[in-house]
Every structure is written in structure tokens, then in C-alpha cells.
Amino acid sequence: MPRLNKKVAETPTPTAQWRWQTQFCEHVARLALSPDGSLVAVATLAGEVAVVATADGRRVRDLPRHGFGALDVAWSSDGAVLATAGQDGIVRLIDAGSGAVLGEHRASGWASRLAWSKDGTRLAAAIGKDTLLIHRDGTEIGRFGQMAHTVSDVVWSTDDRKLGVLTYGGVRWFGSGTPKPTPDRVFAWKGAPLRAAMSPTGKFLVHGNQDNSVHVWRMSSAEEMEMSGYPAKVEVLSWDRTGEWLAVGTIGFTTVWDCSGKGPSGRRAVVCNGPDRRVTALSWQQRGHALIVGSADGTVSWYLPTKAKAAANLQPLGGVDVGSEVSDLAFLSDDRLFVVGCSDGTFGVVATDLPSAR
Amino acid sequence: MIENEFGEIGIDDALVIDAEAEIFEMNNGCICCTVRGDLIRILGNLMRRRDKFDHILVETTGLADPAPVAQTFFVDDEISAQLRLDAIVTMVDAKHIVQHLDDEKAEGTENEAVEQIAFADRIIINKTDLVTTEELDNVVKRVRAINGAVDITYATNAKVDLDSILNVGAFDLSRVLEQEPQFLDDTEHQHDVTVTSVGIEIEGTFNADKLNEWLSTLLRTKGVDIFRSKGILSIAGNDKRFVFQGVHMLLDGEHDRPWGPDERRVNRAVFIGRNLDRAALDRGLRECLV
């Protein structure tokens, strides 16, 4: 009987062998690796923000808490400044070396998303319906016009000259100099975009949406493409470093779109089959082409999508059980180890069986 | 909007949203996919916390459209996987409700008071000390004319037993049908109302396929006008009661407890909405019997 075959095929995912593991008292909301990979900053829903050494899990620094919960954390590209945001409506810039607070800014609503310009000079922060532009020295440059709806994400153009502000109704594309109230361009889209990601090549701006779709804008022509029919709202998107692959996590699987050349239009995605539950986090290798997928069922699986596998269903190359719903993860620079944070506060570094990049 | 005034876990002030509702309509234009973005954000965040909740009370303003609030619990996959809409409770001001029900509304706009009563699974008529018995009777009549299926509780100073508004089980129709058996007849309403309710009681068992087909067609074609639907049905070949509740075109159903060995398999269904055709609903449902 097919049922029997399935049972035989189902081998339990092995328990993760932790390189080190630590415990926070609440759900890990976000983690961010420092540019050199030596440190990882963690934000939890209890409001804690901590900096931990990736080598051994040593707690290097505790940063000021965010009342009601920390939601995001982000390093400037040189690793010198760390930004934190939380439900208290506050965004803080912190000198990563000394721990000194360089600046603190607030607006009405939750401070939910942070994005540094690529050159590391400016931080964009979404707080409720406001978007703040903050200099790395901690001073506020200005605010973009208040939106009619809550800002769900902020995204920089690859040349840092533009800043996209996502709200219900589309993406407003502002000049990133001194904030002006009106956008240079509006990518109008009827619906609620949740998360945006700019391709590293600058060719495509994509957003995952409440209505179970992914919308793609070709930046040169504003041509639109849409990938619909996902079984759930789309909040987990990740570009690989080349900008050729876009991974989109959903319930039960991850689609990987080939965006090289003329783009994903007319192509079929590589489907990475995963556990039945929601995909909660994705990370690409820093040098290689493997993708790790974290799931609400507490497993992390890895895949190697290739063009030859387009339209195929990929099974994971390997996987481990980290014990609790994955909330965020990232490959370390050796492309073999990854750091993972979970919904029960479990946090640490785990090895894959992928070959090391070194 | 979500506020915790009792209980030991102090929930953040940050959860009280003072801003106006964020209503998200979808690209497909379907009104049933309209959800509350603010609610998704807050509930999503609450459910991530390690402190788990027994119940969450969401308080809306008196002007809120109940549909997007209710639909959020069906449409958003993350919320629907973790939370169940137990009941919609509407508090009615006994002194002023009649005046609001009689408000003339501009063409194309809804009377919020009528809508909030129509959507309710339970109604608390408050400030009963401020009205005479006759006035109160009139309020009850007006409420029943819109929503015959609703369970009514009376209060002064909004004092109600929490048990009467928590764990209601919106589909639990047995109690109200005991209280208001005439609801099943097409009673003559005192006022000419377009928003009303239809209750149907039939003995027998249903063919699951036929019922599914009829219900989905009904809600697909008439779902804009059917605000709420709910019922307890006996399905051929299944020992358990099938209970369902819906908001507009969205329906959530499951098999709950088994029918008792001596229990009469009485099917009960309720539809609340605009311009309902009782005869057609009754006939349609009967045709799904085995």
C-alpha cells in the first residue's frame, strides 16, 4: 500500500548538534550577523537586544531594551553602528564598539523594520505610518510624508539613491536625500504588501503580499509580474547573492525562481519540498548556492536548487530538528554553519553536512 | 482595540491602537477577503509570545464594520491556524439604540447599528435601568427583527458575567432555539426591515456532497447579502454533529461531539442578512437531505 511506502520513506529528522546554544526568555524576533560574521545581534519579544559572539555564544554586550518587545536589529555595512527597533515606537543607534547610544528616535506606532543604505551612512526606519531617515551619527535627517497606512517594510535601491516605502496600496519610491513629502515614483498595487526585497542586481523589486502572491516590478520598465496561488500570505523572501535566484517560503514548500537574464516570467520555479508547516525563515549561502529553510515545525532543511532542476520537486539534501519553531536564521561565512533563533528563545549555531567553503 | 483590563499578565499599552482601522481589500476585489491589517499585526505578535492566551477579546469602535474584523479570523492563514472566532458580542444601549436603528443613512452606506446587531452571536442590552419595561420590550423586538437567532443578556453598567461572553461557541444554536422557538416561523415583523434572519429546523440526515455543493453555491452567489450563517447538522455516515459558522462567503466547519444514542437528529441552521428568501433557503437545504 502507498501508505506503507510513505512510512518507510519518512525518516525522522535528526536532532541538531549544536556548536553552542543559549536561551533567551522569549521568542527571537530577528537576528542579524555583523558584516565580518564574528557577532550576531538578537532581538526578542521580551524586549532584550543582545550581541553574541558567533564562535562560542559568549554574550558580548546587552543593549538597551525595547519596552513591549524588540522587533528588528540591523548592522551598518562597516559593522560600526547597530540599530534596534521595538514596539515602544523607538529606534536606537548604538556604537557597536563602546555600546554608547548615538541617537534615539520615536514616532507613534511600532518601530518594526530597519534598513541601512548599502554604504552604511543612513538608516531607514519604519515606525507606524512614518518612515524616518537617520544618519549613522545618530541624528535624524528627516521624515518622509506620513502614510495613510502602516509602513510594512522599507527597501533601498542598490545604488542607495532611492528608498521604497511599502504600505497598503503599493510601494512609494522616494529620493533618499533630504526627505520630501511626495515620492518620485509610485508602484501602485491594489493590496497589502508585507515584505519587500530588492534584487542585488537592482533589476527587480519584489514584494510578498497578504493575498498569497508575490509581485515583481522590473525597475527599468516598471513591467509587472505576479506569482499567485501560494497557499498562504507571503512574508518570507530571499535573494541569493547573485540576484539570479529568488526564494519564496510558504506553507509546506519553498519556491525558487530563476530571475537571471530576462527574468522569471514564463519560467517554472524549482519547488523545494519541506515540512507541512509554514516556512518561517530562509538564508542563502554567502559564497555557495545552497539554501536553508527554517520551518514552524522546528526543523531546518537545506537544498541546492539548480537551473537543471527547474520545474522539479527538490527533496532536502539534509536537515536537523532544532526543537522549536524557527523564527530567524542565517548562514555563517564558512557556508557550513548557521545561526538560528527559535520561538521558545532557543538560540545558537548548528552545523549542516554541506561542504565548507573554506 | 485589544485591551487587557484584568488578569495578571499586564498586556502592553502598545496594544491599544488609537489610530483608525486599517482595512485591507485584496487585489481580487472580493469583499470577503477584506481584513483588518492592524488586527493581523497585533494578534500575530501576541500569538508569538510564550505566554499563551485562553481568550482574546477584541473591542472595536461602535462605528466599525464587523465583517473585516470577523473575516480576519478566516482569511489570514496564520491567524486562522492559531485562533478560532468564538463569538461576536454586541453591546446595545437600551436608551439610544432605537434612535440609531432609525437613522436615515445615505444611499449605499450601511447603518452600523443594524450591521453590528446582525453580525452578533450574543447581544448585551445595557442600561436597562434607564428604560421602562415597554421600551425594553420594544428594543428586544427591534433586535429580534434583525437577528432572531441571537442570545440576549441584560445588563446595567455593562456588568456581565464573563462566562456569558467567553466560550460561547457561535454555532451553539440549541439554547437560543429553546428560548425563541418562534424564530423558526416567519414571524411578522413590526418594522419593515431588509436585514433579518432565517432559522431552519429539519429532521433527518444530509448528503455531504449535496450539502457542500448547495452551501458553497449559496455563499458564492449570495454571500454579499448573507452576513452570517451557522448551524448544527447531521451528516449521513458520520456519528458526529457537523457544526459550522460563516461570515459572508467564508465558512468554517468541523465535526464536534457525537450525537447521543437517543438524541433526535434535529438539524438547525440560521442565516442572517439582507433580503433573505426564507422559502428558497428552506427548500434548498431540504433538497440536500438523504
In tens, the pLDDT along B116-130 reads 999 999 999 999 999
Rank A109-123, A251-265, A300-314 by mean pLDDT and report only the highest: A109-123
What pLDDT, on the 0 to 100 scale, is given for residue A4?
A: 36
Chain B contact present for A65, CB below 8 A:
no
First to last CA, chain A: 46
| Mean pLDDT, residues B39-65 | 84
Confidence grade of residue B177 (pLDDT, cut at 50, 70, 90) = low
Closest-approach residue (CA) in chain B for A44: B49
Give the Cα separation of B258 and B276 in Å (integer).
Answer: 32
Give the Cα separation of A249 and A228 in Å (integer).
Answer: 13
Subunit contact B50:A26, Cβ cutoff 8 A: yes
Subunit contact A251:B77, Cβ cutoff 8 A: yes
Subunit contact B22:A149, Cβ cutoff 8 A: yes
Q: What is the residue-averaged pLDDT of chain B? A: 83
- How many Cβ pairs within 8 Å bridge chains A and B? 76
| Distance set, CA A157 to CA A117, A165, A198, A220, B79 (Å) | 8, 11, 7, 12, 33
Q: Does position A92 have pLDDT exceeding 90, yes or no? A: yes
Subunit contact B40:A128, Cβ cutoff 8 A: no
What pLDDT, on the 0 to 100 scale, is given for residue B164?
A: 85
Confidence grade of residue A248 (pLDDT, cut at 50, 70, 90) = very high
Q: Does position A109 have pLDDT exceeding 80, yes or no? A: yes
What pLDDT, on the 0 to 100 scale, is given for residue B120?
A: 92
Give the Cα separation of A348 and B131 in Å (integer).
Answer: 64
Subunit contact B41:A88, Cβ cutoff 8 A: no
Contact residues, chain A, for B25 at CB < 8 Å: 190-191
Beta bridge partners of B273: B196, B226
What pLDDT, on the 0 to 100 scale, is given for residue B175?
A: 59
List pLDDT tens digits, range A175-205: 999 999 899 999 999 899 999 999 999 999 9
Q: What is the residue-averaged pLDDT of chain A? A: 93
| Mean pLDDT, residues B109-121 | 88
Contact residues, chain A, for B48 at CB < 8 Å: 27, 29, 45, 327, 343
Whether the CB-CB separation of A76 and A116 falls below 8 Å is answered with yes
Contact residues, chain A, for B13 at CB < 8 Å: 68
Q: Does position B214 have pLDDT exceeding 70, yes or no? A: yes
The stretches of chain B forming alpha helices (DSSP H) are 37-48, 66-75, 77-82, 97-101, 112-119, 133-146, 174-179, 208-222, 278-286
ipTM of the complex: 0.85
Subunit contact A211:B28, Cβ cutoff 8 A: yes
Give the Cα separation of B197 and B150 in Å (integer).
Answer: 10
Give the Cα separation of A357 and A336 in Å (integer).
Answer: 7
| Mean pLDDT, residues A43-55 | 97
- Long-range contacts formed by A217-225: CB under 8 A, 24+ apart: A217/A171, A217/A187, A218/A263, A219/A157, A222/A187, A224/A189, A225/A263, A225/A264, A225/A265
Nearest to A232 among B27, B41, B77 (CB): B77
The stretches of B198-241 forming alpha helices (DSSP H) are 208-222
Confidence grade of residue B180 (pLDDT, cut at 50, 70, 90) = low
Subunit contact B14:A89, Cβ cutoff 8 A: yes
What pLDDT, on the 0 to 100 scale, is given for residue B189?
A: 46
Q: Which amino acid is at B253?
A: G
Confidence grade of residue B183 (pLDDT, cut at 50, 70, 90) = low
**CA of A36, closest CA in chain B: separation in Å?**
30
| Mean pLDDT, residues A269-288 | 94
What pLDDT, on the 0 to 100 scale, is given for residue A3?
A: 35
Subunit contact B24:A210, Cβ cutoff 8 A: yes
Nearest to B77 among A29, A192, A233 (CB): A233
User: A106 or A222: whose pLDDT is higher?
Assistant: A106
List pLDDT tens digits, range B76-87: 999 988 998 888
Closest-approach residue (CA) in chain A for B21: A149
What pLDDT, on the 0 to 100 scale, is given for residue A358?
A: 53
| Mean pLDDT, residues B27-43 | 83
Q: Which of A25, A72, A87, A189 to mutate to test the interface with B (most CBs of B within 10 A)?
A: A87
Give the Cα separation of A99 and A307 in Å (integer).
Answer: 45
Q: For the ranges A172-181, A254-263, B8-17, which has the lowest average pLDDT?
A: B8-17
- Long-range contacts formed by A332-335: CB under 8 A, 24+ apart: A332/A33, A332/A37, A332/A54, A333/A36, A333/A37, A333/A286, A333/A357, A334/A358, A335/A285, A335/A286, A335/A287, A335/A288, A335/A290
| Mean pLDDT, residues B158-182 | 73
**CA of A7, closest CA in chain B: separation in Å?**
26
| Distance set, CA B134 to CA B59, B138, B191, B276 (Å) | 30, 6, 16, 29
Whether the CB-CB separation of A174 and A161 falls below 8 Å is answered with no
What pLDDT, on the 0 to 100 scale, is given for residue B186?
A: 53
Q: Which of residues 296-335 of A touch B (CB under 8 A)?
A: 327
Q: Which of A24, A30, A150, A195 to mutate to test the interface with B (most CBs of B within 10 A)?
A: A150
**CA of A355, closest CA in chain B: separation in Å?**
34
Q: Does position A334 have pLDDT exceeding 90, yes or no? A: yes
Chain B contact present for A227, CB below 8 A:
no
Specify the pTM. 0.86
User: A246 or B34: whose pLDDT is higher?
Assistant: A246
List pLDDT tens digits, range A192-245: 999 999 999 999 999 999 999 999 999 999 899 999 999 999 999 999 999 999
| Mean pLDDT, residues A286-295 | 95
Confidence grade of residue A311 (pLDDT, cut at 50, 70, 90) = low
Q: Does position B137 have pLDDT exceeding 90, yes or no? A: yes
Confidence grade of residue A357 (pLDDT, cut at 50, 70, 90) = low
Confidence grade of residue B262 (pLDDT, cut at 50, 70, 90) = confident
| Distance set, CA A352 to CA A184, A292, A301, A317, A355 (Å) | 45, 9, 9, 10, 8
Chain B contact present for A190, CB below 8 A:
yes
CA proximity to A203, closest of A157, A236, A270, A240: A157
First to last CA, chain B: 46
Q: What is the DSSP letter of B182?
A: G
**CA of B35, closest CA in chain A: separation in Å?**
9
Give the Cα separation of A277 and A150 in Å (integer).
Answer: 28
Count CB-CB contacts under 10 A for residue A357: 14
Chain A contact present for B33, CB below 8 A:
yes
| Mean pLDDT, residues A158-174 | 96
Counting every residue, how long is chain A? 358
Q: Does position A266 have pLDDT exceeding 90, yes or no? A: no
In chain B, pLDDT over 70 holds for what percent of residues? Answer: 84
Chain A contact present for B37, CB below 8 A:
yes
What pLDDT, on the 0 to 100 scale, is given for residue B112?
A: 87
Count CB-CB contacts under 10 A for residue B21: 17
What pLDDT, on the 0 to 100 scale, is given for residue A231?
A: 93
Q: Which of A48, A68, A90 to mutate to test the interface with B (most CBs of B within 10 A)?
A: A68
Q: For the ranges A303-317, B10-24, B220-234, B267-281, which has the lowest average pLDDT?
A: B10-24
User: A331 or B109: whose pLDDT is higher?
Assistant: A331
What pLDDT, on the 0 to 100 scale, is given for residue B23?
A: 82
Per the listing, cell 446582525 goes with B118
User: B12 or B39: whose pLDDT is higher?
Assistant: B39
Q: Which of residues 102-161 of A touch B (CB under 8 A)?
A: 108-110, 128-129, 149-150
